């Protein structure tokens, strides 16, 4: 089996040099591999340094800065390995990080994206052990490791993940309409839609200089908006437990406003994971939250008027069928 390591670059030469050194130091003896470095218009001496690299390194140079998704796609298009590893240049790879990720593909026939545990380089705290969603439907990093060797999750970060080249080709790689953010979660949803399972190999641990890339956060709102619009129902399904929890909190604080015992019971069971499928009203609560974000984006990105609306309240759980959801 041959493995391809794809490393997108944009400045940060000292980080790149340290990352490549850690990669070489942690590769198993005899592993067939190639290292593809794709520079996205660096201006800090990176290109001069790249010119001195030799096999198994390959170097690709973008004529202009084209962003993370396009740069990764270009590297993957030249890869010949059975499994593709996408690695940020601001990682420090620790001994034993690679083997558990490779094991995932042997162990799980339906493995889609395989990520790992990432520690903040400065503090050693866990920064990533999978991706979930916060109460507003925004992607967030999971930070608990649990006791298993594997975690099934919705998504993993694009900073460090692996995928079979056949599946990458089938999915069409990253959507280049995302600009330095959101493309990893979008790819993960497409992987799930293809019937695969996304995993975190919890015994694979690396260090990460979190968000060291320049311009990393400049288009967060636009990227998240695109993600919401494409995967609205899937995201809503993943925040119904947040909605159930907040319904319970609101009922506890002001029980006279929530005299519906069935709703409280269903919310409690769903929050505890004992009722896997959310009720229609919990699903509507989740969709209402996403509607609120859409209004905010229309104001922030399109200049639409923002009506003086209060923050989301759990009074949009209707007690009578004719009542409409309000914000």
Map out the domains of the chain as residue ranges: 2-218, 239-316
Calpha distance 23→44 (Å, rounded): 22
pLDDT at residue 79 in the model = 98
Burial class (CB in 10 A: 0-12, 13-18, 19+), 302: exposed
Reported pTM:
0.88
Calpha distance 42→65 (Å, rounded): 8
pLDDT at residue 218 in the model = 67
267-309 pLDDT, tens digit per residue, is: 888 888 888 888 888 888 888 888 888 888 888 888 887 665 5
Right CATH number for 2-218 from 3.30.470.20, 3.30.60.50, 1.10.3720.10, 3.90.550.10? 3.90.550.10
CA angle 159, 182, 99 (to 5 degrees): 25
DSSP-derived letter for residue 212 is -
Calpha distance 24→32 (Å, rounded): 12
Calpha distance 271→278 (Å, rounded): 9
The residue ranges of DSSP E strands in 74-133, in sequence order, are 83-87, 91-93, 111-120, 126-128, 131-133
79-99 pLDDT, tens digit per residue, is: 999 999 999 999 999 999 999
Strand partners, 308: none
Calpha distance 179→190 (Å, rounded): 18
Buried b (16+ CB within 10 A) or exposed e, 11-42: bbbebbebbbebbeebeeeeeebbbbbbbbbb
């Amino acid at each position: 089996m041959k493995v391809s390591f794809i490393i997108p670059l944009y400045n940060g030469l000292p980080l790149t040099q340290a990352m490549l050194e850690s990669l070489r130091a942690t590769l198993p003896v005899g592993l067939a591999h190639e290292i593809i470095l794709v520079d996205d218009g660096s201006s800090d001496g990176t290109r001069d340094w790249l010119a001195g690299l030799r096999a198994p390194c390959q170097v690709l140079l973008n004529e202009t800065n084209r962003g993370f998704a396009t740069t990764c796609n270009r590297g993957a298009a030249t890869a010949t390995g059975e499994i593709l590893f996408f690695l940020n240049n601001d990682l420090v790879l620790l001994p034993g990080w690679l083997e558990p990720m490779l094991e995932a593909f042997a162990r799980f026939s339906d493995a889609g994206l395989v990520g790992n545990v990432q520690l903040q380089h400065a503090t050693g705290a866990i920064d990533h052990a999978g991706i979930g969603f916060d109460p507003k439907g925004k992607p967030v990093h999971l930070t608990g490791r649990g006791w298993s060797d594997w975690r099934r999750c919705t998504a993993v970060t694009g900073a460090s993940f692996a995928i079979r080249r056949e599946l990458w080709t089938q999915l069409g790689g990253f959507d280049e309409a995302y600009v330095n953010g959101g493309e990893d979660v979008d790819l993960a949803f497409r992987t799930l839609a293809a019937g695969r399972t996304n995993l975190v190999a919890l015994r694979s641990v690396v260090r990460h200089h979190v968000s060291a890339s320049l311009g990393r956060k400049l288009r967060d709102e636009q990227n998240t908006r695109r993600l919401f619009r494409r995967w609205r129902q899937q995201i809503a399904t993943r925040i119904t437990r947040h909605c159930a929890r907040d319904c319970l909190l609101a009922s506890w604080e002001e029980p006279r406003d929530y005299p519906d015992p069935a709703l409280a019971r269903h919310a409690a069971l769903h929050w505890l994971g004992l009722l896997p499928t959310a009720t229609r009203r919990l699903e509507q609560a989740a969709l209402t939250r996403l509607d609120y974000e859409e209004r905010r984006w229309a104001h922030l990105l399109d200049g639409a008027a923002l009506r003086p609306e209060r923050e989301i309240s759990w009074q949009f759980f209707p007690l009578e069928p004719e009542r409409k959801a309000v914000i």
